[in-house]
Amino acid sequence: MSKKLSRRTIAQYCANQIIAKDDLIIKKLAAFLVDSNRTREAILIVRDIESALASSGTVVARVVVAHELQASVEAEIKKFIAHSTDATKVAMQVTTDASLLGGISIDTPDHRFDDTVQGKLKTLRANKV
């Protein structure tokens, strides 16, 4: 009976493959998870992969904004993430959510930056006694 691989081991392997530019690694991972009946761990494994990539200098950041970003602003955001995380490479996932009203939210494996209007209103509402 084969030993169950830990999430960390799987994540580290996938991260190494991504850095080595293996385009099929994600499909392989998906197949592995289905085969080993571990599909529920998918999200956790993805986060572990992101953490492993961040340790190697590649940061995956989820960026949420209220309006479409201009190219210059996107570049500024990338610069900001690279500076904050000491990353050599930054991969951004940008999504738009109008309910944020304005501002930006940046999520990396180790940091969270919330400068949205909705976030500020939440903080304000949290000050209710």
Which residue in the set 27, 93, 102, 110 belongs to the binding site for another protein (CB under 8 A)?
102
Distances (CA, A) of 122 to 16, 113, 125, 126: 39, 14, 5, 6
To the nearest whole angstrom, how small is the minimum distance from the Cβ of residue 106 to another protein? 9
The counts of H helices and E strands in the chain are 5, 4
- Binding status of residue 91 toward another protein by CB under 8 A: no
Q: Kindly state whether residue 31 participates in binding another protein, applying the rule CB under 8 A.
A: no
Q: How far is the CB of 57 from another protein (least distance, A)?
A: 20
| 14 within 8 A of 49, measured Cβ to Cβ | yes
Pairing verdict, β 104-107 and 112-114: antiparallel
Binding site for another protein (CB under 8 A): 65-70, 72-73, 76-77, 80, 83, 101-104, 113, 115, 117, 121, 124-125, 127-129
